[in-house]
Structure 1
Amino acid sequence: MAVHGTVAAGFEGVRDEFAAFLAGEEHEPGAQLVVHRGSERVVDLWSDGVTGESLLGVFSSTKGAAYLVTALLVQDGLLDLDRTVASYWPDFAAEGKGEVTLRELLAHRAGVVGLDAGFTLEELADDRAIAARLAGQRPFWQPGRFFGYHGFVIGGLVGEVVFRATGRTLQEWYEERIRAPYGLDMWLGLPESEEPRFLTVLPMLPTPEQQAELEATAHGPYSLAGIAFNQHVPDPVELYDFPNSRTVRAKGQTSAAGIGSARGLAGMYAAAAFGLDGRSPLLKPDTAAEFARIHSEGTDLVAGEPDAFGLGFLAMGLRFSFLGADSYGHSGAAGSLALADLRQGFAYAYTRRRYAFPGGTAPENEGLLKSVVRALGR
């Protein structure tokens, strides 16, 4: 499978690592890899099956855009991390949630990962519908005491706080402050005019051994994970298929419906951390440090596995020990990953079209990231 695109001098090893991965993936219909060293794009690669301008479903890598907007609004003084969610949004106080702060909500500690009755696809596509349904939901654990990944709903919950505090949606803020000024191909609500560039997400093709592993480790539909990913409703949507709905793409809910490219994701983190187009970084050092700082660590009650979160962002320095301790970013279910490493001075984004086994951060990201760190070290 051919590799296309360019790398700057010194980053040839990144291209070699990308090519080596693709050589062993006969069923991979397309992947993209982009790296910025500071504000400079030094890696811009893609494989057969896509182009550098193709738009893909990035699933939970979308959350990085939502958290960057929230960080900007905190930085501007429009949001206060230690105010209660209910002080902005009174209905949220129902069922014992009145003392949950915005800080706790962002750290996945609120306990409202889903609905007892579940969502329709139309509701899941709409942040404000998600928020309206969840306002009266009882939490699944004592708020603030534990944490669990609010995979499908965190954007709707945080976005409702943004809307109540500012009168504007999180998507509107993102378009005005981040996407449009830099011309980024990372959309929260894909315009009809961009639809021809979108490539549908393709399902995983597990080996028989992988399929057996998936079945052995699958969460039941009425478990916390089943409820969090809306699997307890009749005829639930397959997760890989979520961004393949035009309704989902058009509404751009901010937990999992972002449509973009590796160029768009890497550019977003480069703009936040290092600045682009001659502009200063979007986030001041204190803001970036606060949002990257670990707020939840231990066993995630939804996933049932160890994990760690900053304010929304995944604690990337714990996931990859060779990254800076305060690296921040997010992965997506199909295998995408995007992040900024301030200490080593780079932004990274990887996307793929086919859903990767076993879901979440695709395994090849580790080798690709290591090749980037090696290139920077030289």
Structure 2
Amino acid sequence: MTQEIHGTVADGFEAVREEFAAFVARERPDYEGQLCAYVHGRQVVDLWAGEGAAADSLYGVFSTTKGAAHLVVALLVQDGTLELDRKVTYYWPEFGAEGKGAVTLRDLLAHRAGVVGLDAGFGEEELADDRAIAERIADQRPFWRPGTAFGYHALVIGALTGEVVRRATGRTTQELFEERVRAPYGLDFHLGLPEALEPRFRSVLPMAPTPEQQAVLDATPTGPHTLGSIAFNDHVPDAGTLVDHANSRLVRAKGPTSAGGVAAARGIAGMYAAAVSGLDGRPPLLKPDTIAEVGQIHSVGHDLVSQGHRAFGLGFQATAAMAYPFLGAGAFGHSGAAGSQGFADPRSGLAYGYTRRRWAYPGGAAPENDRFVRAVHSAALAG
């Protein structure tokens, strides 16, 4: 039985609804997800599907959280509170231990610092606590000479940049995001989910690969001492999974800024619209020079953690170079492990958000985003 598609699209964006409906018809019967987009601050797509889902359902969005965290950093750089080419130790002296003294904030944001995790790993409660992560990482020896290469700091980057934020301002990234971004626009993107909103949270469902997909996963080389294992804390005996991480009330309450955010697609797309175009009559949060700085590619090529081709700006993924080459130069955002995606394409004015409940194969931005993004972008250019 084909699921009903809920929501609306603006004139000229009918092809997006068709693409979404076609995907839902092909997907597992238990599919649940949301798709939202703005163009120049105007909502043009607002769709959702799934039994029990609603427009304001909230999902664990994993690393899409990093986009929210680093929007705060971008605002502080724009304010002059933070300087990209200052050494991290200017703000946080303890970080300089074990050969990290020359690392700049720019290096850190571009995943070039080399401290992707801990030799000894983290406990589950520590991964919910940005302060605990930062305190322990400060004493960690880098896994490569800082600045010589890059690798995705998957579970720690938000804590590290967040400690710089805290030392410079006396406030946490979570507090500043709430004050400067989420609350003024009423966005359903939370770095720390209030207890009162828990009924709207939809727990993450684990991946359910086909036998053929499972065979590929089983054949993928892994090892307990690889950089990938360390970066994702998989080398810790009996470590919880990322699904467990998102489904933990402790994680949702504290909102760790690497992968602990909770959002609806409306909140993700609305955040990026507010950042580059403005919303509700307000001017854009970011000035053109800041938008260009954070979207400029700083690290591109072979990622030592993922062992694949990746491209990063400053705290954000370089979305066009990394995922959707038809987007404008300077597009920036961040995807999440279970399939979520969010970005801004400043040249077309497009702001995009996608969530889904069940973990998508093979991980990272769900494959259906390829078709959704292309459809939305084409309609935006034609408008």
- Place the TM-score, normalised by the shorter chain, in its bin: over 0.9
- 1:174 is matched with 177
For the residues of structure 2 that align with 1:95 and 1:240, how far apart are their CA atoms? 33
What is the one-letter code of the residue matched to 2:226?
Answer: S
Q: Percent identity?
A: 65
Match of 1:60 among 50, 60, 63: 63
State the match for 2:381 in structure 1.
377
Q: What are the equivalent positions in structure 2 for 1:143-154 lying under 5 Å apart?
A: 143-154=146-157
Supply the distance in 2 between the matched residues of 1:251 and 1:86 (Cα, whole angstroms). 26
| Residue from 98, 114, 118 that aligns with 1:111 | 114
**When the two structures are superposed, what TM-score results if normalisation uses the length of structure 1?**
0.99
- 1:221 Cα shift? 2.2
State the alpha-carbon separation in 1 of the partners of residues 237 and 152 from structure 2. Answer: 23
Structure 2: runs of 5+ lacking an equivalent: none
Aligned ranges for residues 214-229 of structure 1 at < 5 Å? 214-229=217-232
1:169-190, Cα deviation, whole Å (9 max, x unpaired): 0111100000000000000000
Match of 2:256 among 246, 253, 263: 253
Distance 2:116 2:50 in 1: 38
Determine whether 1:351 maps to 2:355. Answer: yes
* 1:299 to 2:322 alignment: no
Local SS of the residue matching 1:36 = strand
Q: Are 1:206 and 2:221 counterparts? A: no
Is residue 121 from structure 1 mapped to residue 121 from structure 2 by the alignment? Answer: no
Aligned counterpart, 2:272: 269
Cα shift readout 1:153-174 (whole Å, capped 9, x = no counterpart): 0000000000001111011110
Q: In the alignment, residue 290 of structure 2 is paired with which amino acid?
A: T
The aligned counterpart of 1:87 is 90
Deviant stretches of 4+, over 6 Å: none
For the 8 Å contact 2:24–2:31, the answer to whether it is kept is no
Considering only aligned residues, what root-mean-square deviation do their CA atoms show, in Å? 0.8
2 CA distance for matches of 1:155 and 1:372? 29
1:287-307 C-alpha deviation (Å, 9 max, x unpaired)? 010000000011000000011
Q: TM-score, normalised by structure 2?
A: 0.98
Which whole-Å CA distance do the structure 1 matches of 2:54 and 2:333 have between them?
Answer: 24
Question: How far, CA to CA, are the matches of 1:190 and 1:196 in structure 2?
Answer: 11
Question: Does residue 168 of structure 2 align to residue 157 of structure 1?
Answer: no
Structure 2 match to 1:4: 6
| Structure 1 residue 218 displacement after superposition | 4.3
| Aligned partner of residue 212 in structure 2, secondary structure | helix
Q: Distance in 2 between matches of 1:68 and 1:30?
A: 28
Instruction: Work out whether 1:133 is the aligned partner of 2:136.
Output: yes
Q: Show structure 1 runs of 5+ residues with no match.
A: none
Q: Which whole-Å deviations, capped at 9, do the CAs of 1:41-83 have from their partners, x for residues lacking one?
A: 1110000231111000000000000110000000000000000
In the alignment of these two chains, the number of paired residues is 378
CA distance in 1, matches of 2:73, 2:212: 42
SS, match of residue 43 in structure 1: strand
How many angstroms does 1:219 deviate by?
A: 2.5
Assess if the C-alpha contact under 8 Å between 2:13 and 2:44 holds in 1. yes
CA contact (8 A) 2:113 2:150 kept: yes
